[in-house]
Amino acid sequence: MSINAIYIRRRGKLILPEGAGTTSLGALAALQKNLESLGYLLGREVMDGLARLSLAQVDAFYQRLVKDLRTLVGAHRKFEPMYPNFPAQVMEMTEAELYVNALLHYWTLQRHAFEPEDRPALEAYPPRRIIELGERADFDAIFTLLARSKSPFSPQDKEDVAWFIAQYRDDIQPLLPEDIPSRENLAYLGAKLMRYAPAAAAVLDRHVKTATDVLRLAVALSNGDVSLAGAGKLGKFHRAERARMLGWIERAPNRTEDMLRWKPRWIRLGEHLHPREYAKRFPQTAAAFDVLRNNRPINTFNAQIETALSARDIAAVLDLLDARPGDLARRLDHLARISPAPQRVVDGFARRAERVSTPVLLQVMTHFRRRDAPADLRVFFPKGEVGKLFGTTQALPALAPGLALELAAICERALLKRFAALPPLGPCYLDPGLKNYLVPFSRRSASKSLRTLTRGSRLALPEGGTLRFFVWWKNGRGRADIDLSAVMYSAQYGYISALTYYNLKDFGGHHSGDIVDAPHGASEFIDVDLALCRARGVRFVVMTLNSFTEQPFCDLPECFAGWMARQAPASGEIYEPKTVVDKVDVASNTRICAPVIFDLERGEAIWADVAVTNHAIYQNNVAANLTGLSLMLRAMTDLRKTDLYTLFDLHIRARGAPAADRESAQTVFAVDAGLTPFDLERITAEFM
């Protein structure tokens, strides 16, 4: 990975090398022409800067740039579908021909050697992505914003943070922020600092505050899941690392109670830290481990809460939670439901709301604003590194009239007061289109992609009558069969049909043919005709990937998928990099995923990036998993989450003023300019 690979992906900018010389306009024009085939163009300042470099420098810069851009859009791999003259070839073949060809491939793993035909040039070029000139300070700010993020790192964030620390080593220290609010991010950052920047790692002494911080850090040093959603193996630690972690535990408040929350993991960690060897130096830590190992009795905070709840002693619960406003906010709905005097719950929360974190206040506010509205399904995203969701049709018991709105108003007032203390924004333009984009509360399970968005966000479909899905994968330790499918549903979420390996033609759409072995890489495509689908009652099309051979995607050396918009599907190459709208790396520990949903009625793509649990008995294909897909579809199309319009509106009300139009605004919040939904590191660091 290079500086510009990160900078282009996150900012659409690059940094030019220093040098002296000249390069002709003709050479630069050829460079631009080649980049155009990948869907990119260089801005005027970049071109002027390249003209002042020698031809050798420009060539070296171009070779690196092309490699990075090809990887971004997926053009670094060769796409060879079963039928090289797709989609016309599939249209023309009979069902019998398709069946015989598939059967021979399944039995022999060989593909028929069809002769590729010449294809007409691509029609309807999409807009290019413009790459502008940046500077080193702006690039370095990416790391600082990531470290300040209030949302857990995504896999892409982790990769970029690790690159910064490994490259800068101890020089990373000036880029570290004063505060690292996310405890998961602190653990990951801390582990990389301890490995690559020991001098800079000294800052951890003021950031590591709880025993759970130490547990997360130990897990991060062992390359585990810092969310602690899943158990993992712990590695070996150097003596200095053991002493350092035990010292942090020694000074942590409520250490024993904190450790009991993760008792089995702490017992395993104790086997690696050897606290008895340091008992004289860290006596309180040794005592805490003794409680865990020997089941010594201790009256924990949570035990006191549960005892009071069992006795319906809400006054005692509120007194206990008064010192922990975050826990109070998370239990607010339950307490308001069961309390004989719900106003006391409201008053207790009002006194402590200003001490609740911004992400929690935003989520609680949205929950209570929409609580009384009817909903067919309530959706939950469990913590972890795999993007899963659960849904329930069980409605919450009713609250007293007006109570939900009163609780939402308390959150709103606390947020406005907090945001008012931030630097002024001046006149602001707020794009109504931001109502379609959700606040990135958690990105830990977000896949690496050309553009990263929050699950449930909606993007307008580009012009084009055909959607073309694609997938590319390569075998891992054994044969890997990844099936690409397009599953069609009505407006009432009723299943209609599927374009998949056992149904290559339907609803005017076509599948490029099922490939079941990829020793050197394989690819599949699906074309979906939007007009024909709408005419036949299809509203939703779900793009899915199934690992038919049951390997988790994380066990494959490479697997990525995405979609293109095409005006004339027979024109251009089957895989045209310049037409790629989005590309997603599929590397999660799951066997089914749904990257995106298309709402044909509203003309929108819904960013899903969700893992679907596969059936435990039958083969892993679309037909065996329709129930899970239908649940996922219903959940993703009716999420009740905080949108970016709401978040930015609060900031404008607190520290700005509405502008008459975009041109007169000092600060712009919009889908395509100023602060956009794709500037996730800025949103999570500066606005949450």
SS3 of 144-205: the string is: HHHHHCCCCCCHHHHHHHHHHHHHHHHHHHHHCCCCCCCHHHHHHHHHHHHHHCCCHHHHHH
Is 86 buried (19+), middle (13-18) or exposed (0-12) by CB count in 10 A? Answer: buried
User: Residue 639 — very low, low, confident or very high, per pLDDT cuts 50/70/90?
Assistant: confident
The CB-side HSE value for 156 (13 A sphere, CA atoms) comes to: 21
Residue type, 132: E
Query: Are residues 154 and 225 both part of a single domain?
Result: yes
For the chain, give the percent of residues with pLDDT over 90.
69
What does the buried/exposed string (b/e) look like for 33-61 if buried means 16 or more CB atoms within 10 Å of the residue's CB?
Answer: eebeebbbbbeeebbebbeebeeebbeeb
Counted domains in the chain:
5
Domain residue limits at 350: 312-419
Give the closest residue to 412 by CA, choosing from 356, 330, 456, 338. Answer: 356
The label of the residue with tokens 């939950």 reads: 380
Query: Are residues 170 and 284 both part of a single domain?
Result: yes
Is 468 buried (19+), middle (13-18) or exposed (0-12) by CB count in 10 A? Answer: buried
Query: Are residues 164 and 191 both part of a single domain?
Result: yes
For residue 319, tell me if it sits in a domain. yes
Give the closest residue to 244 by CA, choosing from 204, 287, 197, 292. Answer: 204
Provide the 10 A C-beta neighbour count for residue 592.
25
For residue 413, tell me if it sits in a domain. yes
User: Residue 452 — very low, low, confident or very high, per pLDDT cuts 50/70/90?
Assistant: confident
Lowest-confidence segment of 127-136, 301-310, 540-549, 552-561 by average pLDDT = 301-310
In the predicted structure, residue 194 carries a pLDDT above the cut 80:
yes
Q: What is the mean pLDDT of the chain?
A: 90
Lowest-confidence segment of 114-128, 310-324, 444-458, 499-513 by average pLDDT = 444-458
Write out pLDDT tens, residues 552-570.
Answer: 988 999 999 999 998 888 8
In the predicted structure, residue 377 carries a pLDDT above the cut 70:
no
User: Residue 441 — very low, low, confident or very high, per pLDDT cuts 50/70/90?
Assistant: confident
pTM of the shown model: 0.90
Is 411 buried (19+), middle (13-18) or exposed (0-12) by CB count in 10 A? Answer: buried
What phi and psi, each to the nearest 5 degrees, are found at residue 514?
-85, 125
Query: Are residues 129 and 156 both part of a single domain?
Result: no
Query: Are residues 477 and 611 both part of a single domain?
Result: yes
Taking residues 176-194, what's their average pLDDT? 95
Q: What pLDDT sits at residue 617?
A: 45
Query: Are residues 145 and 256 both part of a single domain?
Result: yes
Taking residues 369-397, what's their average pLDDT? 66
Give, as one character, the DSSP assignment of residue 607. Answer: E
Measure the CA–CA gap between 495 and 503, rounded to whole angstroms.
Answer: 15
Query: Are residues 279 and 142 both part of a single domain?
Result: yes
Query: Are residues 129 and 187 both part of a single domain?
Result: no
In the predicted structure, residue 138 carries a pLDDT above the cut 60:
yes
Taking residues 522-526, what's their average pLDDT? 97
Q: Where are the strands (E) in 508-601, listed by range?
A: 509-511, 522-529, 540-547, 559-566, 580-585, 592-599
Write out pLDDT tens, residues 400-414.
Answer: 899 999 999 999 999
Paired residues of 528 in beta bridges:
467
Query: Are residues 374 and 435 both part of a single domain?
Result: no
For residue 33, tell me if it sits in a domain. yes
For residue 648, tell me if it sits in a domain. yes
Query: Are residues 328 and 289 both part of a single domain?
Result: no
For residue 521, tell me if it sits in a domain. yes
Taking residues 20-40, what's their average pLDDT? 91
In the predicted structure, residue 499 carries a pLDDT above the cut 90:
yes
Decide which of 133, 153, 173 is a domain's last residue.
133
Q: Both tokens of residue 58?
A: 């420009």
DSSP readout, 110-150?
----PPPPP-PPPPSPPPPEEEEE--HHHHHHHHHHHHH-S
User: Residue 387 — very low, low, confident or very high, per pLDDT cuts 50/70/90?
Assistant: very low
For residue 538, tell me if it sits in a domain. yes
Check: CB of residue 255 under 8 Å from CB of residue 266: no
Measure the CA–CA gap between 564 and 583, rounded to whole angstroms.
Answer: 9
Q: Is the peptide bond before 87 cis (omega within 30 degrees of 0)?
A: yes
Decide which of 115, 133, 151 is a domain's last residue.
133
User: Residue 390 — very low, low, confident or very high, per pLDDT cuts 50/70/90?
Assistant: low
Give the CA distances from residue 561 to residues 5, 9, 53, 194, 407, in Å, rounded to whole numbers and listed in that order.
20, 17, 37, 35, 43
Measure the CA–CA gap between 469 and 484, rounded to whole angstroms.
Answer: 8
For residue 87, tell me if it sits in a domain. no
For the chain, give the percent of residues with pLDDT over 70.
95
- CATH code for the domain of 553: 2.60.60.30
Query: Are residues 415 and 561 both part of a single domain?
Result: no
Check: CB of residue 385 under 8 Å from CB of residue 230: yes
Query: Are residues 578 and 519 both part of a single domain?
Result: yes
For residue 205, tell me if it sits in a domain. yes
**Assign residue 377 a region: left if phi > 0, alpha if psi is -120 to 50, beta otherwise?**
beta
Q: What pLDDT sits at residue 630?
A: 80
